Amino acid sequence: MKVDKRIGGENTISLIVGKRTLYLYSLFDTENPIELEFQQHYGNIVSYKWFGDGYILLGFALGYFIAISTHIKEVGRELFQVKNYKNSLNDIALCKRMGKVASCGDNIIKIHDLNSLQETSSLLTLPHESELDKIVWSDDGKLLAVSTINGSVNVYVLNVPMLTSVFGTKILVLSNLSEVNLYNFCGNKKKLIPMPIPLETEPSIIAVGPYHFITAINNKAWFYDLTKQPCSDTVPLLLRTKEYLSTITSVNINSEYASILFDGRIELHLIEQLEVEYKNREAISLPDANSISKITCQVLTTDFLIYGTDNGQIVFFHIEDWTVLTTYTHSVGISQIFSDPTGTKIVIIDLQSLGYFYNAVNGNFMSIPDWPSKTLGVVWDSSLLDKNVFIIFDENSIFPYIFQRFSINGPTIQKINEKFTLLSNQLPLLMYSGDIVLAANNGRLLTLPMNPSDESSTKQLERKDLEHTINRHLIFERFAVAFNLCYLLQSVNMWVKLAEEALKHLEVNIALLAYKELRNVAMVYSLEQITNIEDTNLLAGYCSMYLKDYSKAQKWFLNSHYPQASLQMQRDLLQWDHALELSKKLAPDQLPFISREYAHQLESIGNYSEAYILYDKGLTENVNENIEPQHVFICKCGTARTTIRCGNYKQGIIIANEVNNRELFIECANILASMKQYQEAAFFYEKAQVYDKAASTYIKIKNWKKVEELLPNITSNKIYSQYAKAKELEGKYKDSLKAYYMANDFDSVIRLELDYLNNPTAAVELAEETKSVEGFRMVARFFQRINDYFSTIKFLVMARDFEEAFELTKKQKMFTYYGDVLLNTLSLGGVRHDDFHKLALHFEHEKDYLLAGKYFFHARDYNKALDHLLRASKSTMNQSAAISLAIEAVASSNNQQLAARLIEFLLGETDGNPKDPKYLFQLYMARKQYKDATKSALIIANEEQINGNYKNARDILFNMYQELKINGISIPQDMYHTLMLLHSYILVRLHIRRGNHLLSARLLLRVAENISKFPTHIVPILTSTVIECYRADLKHSAYKYATSLIQNQNYRKQIDSKYLNKIESIIRKAPKNSTSANLNDDLVESVTSCPYCGTLFPEMETFCSGCKKNVPVCIVTGRHIVKDDITVCPECSFPAIRSEFLEILNTEEEKLCPMCHSSVDPSKLEKTSELAM
């Protein structure tokens, strides 16, 4: 019974009372027995059994089967309950050795595992019996006997010995005492279907081959042929039986032979007697009679019989040659041997239970790492893809391993960091592509997958799981599969890992593909060079080198057929000590070149003495006639440099002169200069034509003569300056002056001109040219010394010594001049507002309001500036200047209140005296109020026009037009028409002078039609119109305007007397139809096309009736422009007819634009298709 405190031995008496109650009587608590009653529907208690740590199983008559605990805290609690039988349960039997319990009832036997009572592990039905009575186990648990109410007894074998055998893909398993199951593993994950084969007797050993199988017990063996069946039966044919001299220990067979181990010896013989070709190869007994060793284990493959002995020998017997092929002797006796399918690789277990790997091809023998202490066996993978994978198993676990035949670490056995759990009584038999076939009880087979997911299912995996799958494939060296998965994943890290793992295992082609995906051009190029290498050692060397494991690379290279690769690697790694040692053994002809390269490295780190020795070796050691001239040149240059570095200047200079190379001269010069050997350094700089450095070095030793010789070749200002200072100290000022000029040290030039050469004019000119502040200061000091205060103040301001300049101004009372100087030097910068403010305060004190306002404006005190300037404008003499300055001040202030105040003043609202409108126009223009300025411009132009100042009016409108255009403001049409009308009048004089009376007449007709806009000169304009029309044979037009002059008495009185008779004559000789005043009777006006729409209309018209647009006017002729002959003035951008403009420019003395009066180069008049207006 289970109690809280553990007590050894049995302590409870149990009995059934009245078939309903279980009575528990504790020997340690006799006063308190426990009575357990159960539910009525269970029926009577038939039987009960104690098991485990205080648990009881009970069977009830009505078929119920329950388990209870006797622990004091849970006594009587049902842990498990099931109705096992429909009608009745008659008995239960417990087998503690097997951990099973059996019950019988009705005609059924049910068996449960004590560890999982909820599941029925086995069920046996007796169909010919009506009811079972009693059941009992044998002591070993292998047999189970059951009696029936009819008096019969049935005995069942429940624990068959696990006998198995595997050859290739064939599996043979003992399913019961007289039957085996044969399976054929296909590797396609289909369920394995057994083929049952009855046996002659219960075997203790079984073995299967490709075509036969053997069973054996004691010293007798039965041979069966799987390819033949007697009669129509499907049972394999029993070929024969054979008895041996002693009890058989183990049996192996292949397609032809059977190897039988008994009494420490093997008898290898044919399974069947075949043709004559097997003569002398029918049978053999191993080892030979003289051997004292005993065979302990054996394996038979297609080609080899492999056996191990108690003294550690591992023998490979080649069946084809019928002889021992190779023998390996281990230090300890051999216990078991496990071979791969080919028989070339084996795993052994010695008598110390340690595991080792042996490769018969190359004799590699190595211990297996992390060998399990209780190993039961080893299974090799039978697939070609995973032929180097094997598993080691004990009772509970499977441990996978892989043999890495090719890697940068050499042949190794690697344990895979995974472990698979085995259930009870499971035995690994076969492995194929990672799938492990396990044998279970009763001949059943199970499959345990060890592989990662197959490729078809990887597309469904998450990214993290896919990375894990790739890592597993890399562990199993399935690089092609891993590559495809990496392509699916597209992870840079996984590509890198794949490439590196492939290189570690010498899979160069896979690594090459991976590096192509990584766009690693350098690695791709390098690997392409080694893809065809067949020497494994050489290939391993390159792979180790690319993985930066240089020590391994060195080892592999030296063991390859091309050990020179190690030399090349050491050279590339700049490991010159190793390279020199290797070169002596492997490539003596490379010693000069390696010495040279090593010397260069030593020289770069300052080991000059060693570098000199190696450069010298490069010239003397193993040098032949075919040595490259470049090599000799480099070694000589190095010898020269290191000789000088070692202090042997004379010898180094001799060698450098022999080489006669400019670059070497520079190098030697730099070295000599660093060692303060300036004379020699300068000499080499000069020879190398590095004149600046040569001169600088000569200066250090004060060799001015050599410096002077080099001056024509000097470009460094510093050297010229040093030379100039030296000459100045010698008193040679003109030479010094020239040198200072070459050094661009103009301040020193100014100083010399003033202090020593007494040439202030040149000094002033240079100071103004260079705008040197220090130069201006020196000039100011000079003029101050000679009492030239005007020049002193000017140059002090230019030197930005404003305080000193103002003090001198006050002292000499030269305020007006000081102000002019300040304004004139604004462009030089540095002038401060405070300087103007001081000046303004002075003039304010002096009540000079114009100058006070002017300087307050420049001091940016706009309120005071406007106050003083408006006061100054009351003076007629200062009015214009004061108002103009006020306009500038207001525009600069951007202050609306000041602007309004000035406008009121200009309009006369403050003093009742309106000012000239031009000032208002100037104000608007200064403040960029272009619309208001346009209105003012039209008013002013109109006044000028009324007063007869047509050119002034035209210029005002032209300037306004340009301002509007620059600022992107549209041009008012009335402004443009007025401008063109005034311009047409001004063009008349040009064309009269050129004798083009027709064009002059047409222009005057345009003006005459708008004669009201020219009130001051109506009569002269009409008179000119009459005269020019008459000259141009426009008689109707001449008659019309002559009549208007004569009929108006006021006009007639104003006609110039010299034209009066002519005009009266024109009236007297009136043209035909003159009474109708039909001007169309004049010469027909030429028509040209509209540049916009192409419509033809008179050339002097400016409005196109076709497209209803105003057409731009030619500034040369006054006609409208035509599309195919357009140009613009390069200065004012007004359009013109190009051919007419060119004619004017080519025939007039002054090549001026008729509109802006700017000089125009005819070659710049380019034809354009763009309309400028």
Pairing of strands 1109-1110, 1103-1104: antiparallel
Claim to verify: residue 82 and residue 174 sit in the same structural domain: no
State the helix-helix crossing angle for 479-489 and 492-504, rounded to 10 degrees. Answer: 170
3-state secondary structure of 218: coil
pLDDT of 232 above 80: no
CA 811 to chain centre: 73
Q: CATH no. for residue 321?
A: 2.130.10.10
> Residue 455: its pLDDT value, please?
47
pLDDT level of residue 512 (50, 70, 90 thresholds): very high
How far apart (Å, rounded) are the C-alpha atoms in residues 411 and 385? 18
Range of the domain at 573: 563-655
In this predicted model, what pLDDT tens digit does every residue of 571-628 receive, in sequence order? 888 888 888 888 888 888 888 888 888 889 888 889 989 888 888 888 887 566 667 8
pLDDT at 45: 92
Confidence category of residue 372, pLDDT binned at 50, 70, 90 = very high
632 in any annotated domain: yes
Both 118 and 247 in one domain: the answer is: no
Q: Residues 978-985: what's their mean pLDDT?
A: 90
**Confidence at residue 206, expressed as pLDDT on a 0 to 100 scale:** 94
Could you tell me the pLDDT band of residue 824, with boundaries at 50, 70 and 90?
confident
The reported pLDDT for the residue numbered 622 is: 58
The total number of structural domains in the chain stands at 4
State whether 231 and 321 are in the same domain: yes
pLDDT confidence band for 158 (50 / 70 / 90): confident
Q: Are residues 133 and 214 in the same domain?
A: no
Q: In the predicted model, is pLDDT for residue 48 greater than 90?
A: yes
What pLDDT shows up at residue 392?
95
* 1088 beta partners: 1097
Q: What distance in Å separates the CA atoms of residue 263 and residue 285, rounded to the nearest whole number?
A: 12
pLDDT at position 4 is: 55
Give how far Cα 822 sits from Cα of 148, 795, 819, Å: 140, 11, 5
| Mean pLDDT, the chain, whole residue set | 87
Distance between CA atoms of residues 514 and 506, nearest Å:
14
pLDDT of 5 > 60? The answer is no
- Decide the pairing of beta strands 283-286 and 265-270: antiparallel
Is residue 924 a part of any domain in this protein?
Answer: no
pTM value is 0.55
**pLDDT category of residue 353 using cuts at 50, 70 and 90:** very high
Asked if the structure places residue 728 within a domain, the reply is no
In a domain, 211, yes or no: yes
Q: What is the pLDDT of residue 461?
A: 60
Task: Look at 414 and 280; give whichever has higher pLDDT.
Answer: 414
What is the per-residue pLDDT for 103? 94
Order the strands of the 132-137 sheet from edge to edge: 132-137, 143-148, 153-157
Whether the pLDDT of residue 243 is over 70: the answer is: yes
Residue 374 in domain: yes
**Residue 212 parent element (H or E):** strand 212-217
Pair 112, 220 in one domain: no
Q: How far apart are CA 861 and CA 1095, in angstroms?
A: 61
Of 390, 412, 429, which one is at a domain's C-terminal end?
A: 429
Claim to verify: residue 578 and residue 632 sit in the same structural domain: yes
**CA angle centred on 127, ends 123 and 132, rounded to 5°:** 70
User: CA–CA separation, 146 vs 126, rounded Å?
Assistant: 10
Question: How many other C-beta atoms are found inside a 10 Å radius of the C-beta of residue 911?
Answer: 12
Each as own residue / partner, the long-range contacts of residues 971-977 (CB below 8 Å, 24 or more positions apart, any chain) are 972/934, 973/1110, 974/938, 975/934, 975/937, 975/938, 976/1110
* Phi, psi torsion values for 254, nearest 5 degrees: -125, -155
Average the pLDDT over 845-859 and give the result.
87
Q: What is the CATH number of the domain that holds 1164?
A: 3.30.40.10
Is the residue at 711 inside a domain?
no
Within-domain flag for 521: no
Residues 138 and 264 in one domain: no
Q: What percent of the chain has pLDDT over 90?
A: 34
Q: How far apart are the first and last CA of the chain?
A: 122
Closest to 212 in 3D by CA, of 168, 256, 173: 256
Give me the residues paired with residue 237 across strands: 225
- Residue 1173 confidence (pLDDT): 43
Quick one: average pLDDT of 780-798?
A: 88
Task: Give the pLDDT confidence of 710-744 residue by residue, as tens digits.
Answer: 888 888 888 888 888 888 888 888 888 888 888 88
pLDDT at 1077: 47
**Claim to verify: residue 198 and residue 134 sit in the same structural domain:** no
Whether 271 and 419 map to the same domain: the answer is yes
Q: Are 408 and 504 in contact (CB under 8 A)?
A: yes
Q: Which one-letter amino acid corresponds to residue 392?
A: I
pLDDT recorded at residue 338 = 96
Residue 329, pLDDT above cutoff 90: yes
Domain membership flag for residue 57: yes
Judge if 318 and 233 occupy the same domain: yes
pLDDT at 230: 62
30-41 pLDDT tens trace: 777 888 888 888
Confidence of residue 830 (pLDDT cuts 50, 70, 90): low
Mean pLDDT, range 1148-1155, rounded to an integer: 88
Least confident of 155-164, 307-316, 458-467, 494-503: 458-467
Q: Residue 317 gets which letter from DSSP? A: E
Q: How many Cα atoms occupy the beta-carbon half-sphere of 657 within 13 Å? A: 10
Give the mean model confidence (pLDDT) for residues 559-580.
88
Indicate the residue among 366, 398, 429 that finishes a domain: 429
pLDDT tens-digit readout, 450-501: 765 554 455 556 777 888 888 889 888 889 999 999 998 889 999 999 999 9
DSSP 585-646: HH-GGGHHHHHHHHHHHHHHTT-HHHHHHHHHHHHHTT--TT--HHHHHHHHHHHHHHHHHT
Are 1109 and 1128 in a shared domain?
Answer: yes
Res. 831 pLDDT band, cuts 50 70 90: low
- 1172: pLDDT strictly greater than 60: no
Chain segment 945-969, per-residue pLDDT in tens: 888 888 988 888 888 888 888 878 8
* pLDDT-based confidence at residue 274 (cuts at 50, 70, 90): low
User: What φ, ψ does residue 79 adopt, rounded to 5°?
Assistant: -85, -25
Give dist(CA 214, CA 209) in Å, integer.
9
d(CA 1024, CA 236): 145
DSSP-assigned letter for residue 563: T
- Can you give the pLDDT at residue 1076? 46
Q: 140 and 169 share a domain?
A: no
Whether the pLDDT of residue 1044 is over 60: the answer is yes
Q: Within 13 Å and on the Cβ side, how many CA atoms surround 829? A: 3
How confident is the model over 351-374, as a mean pLDDT?
Answer: 92
Domain endpoint, select from 592, 624, 655 = 655
Per-residue pLDDT at 624: 63
Which residues sit opposite 50 in a β-bridge?
56
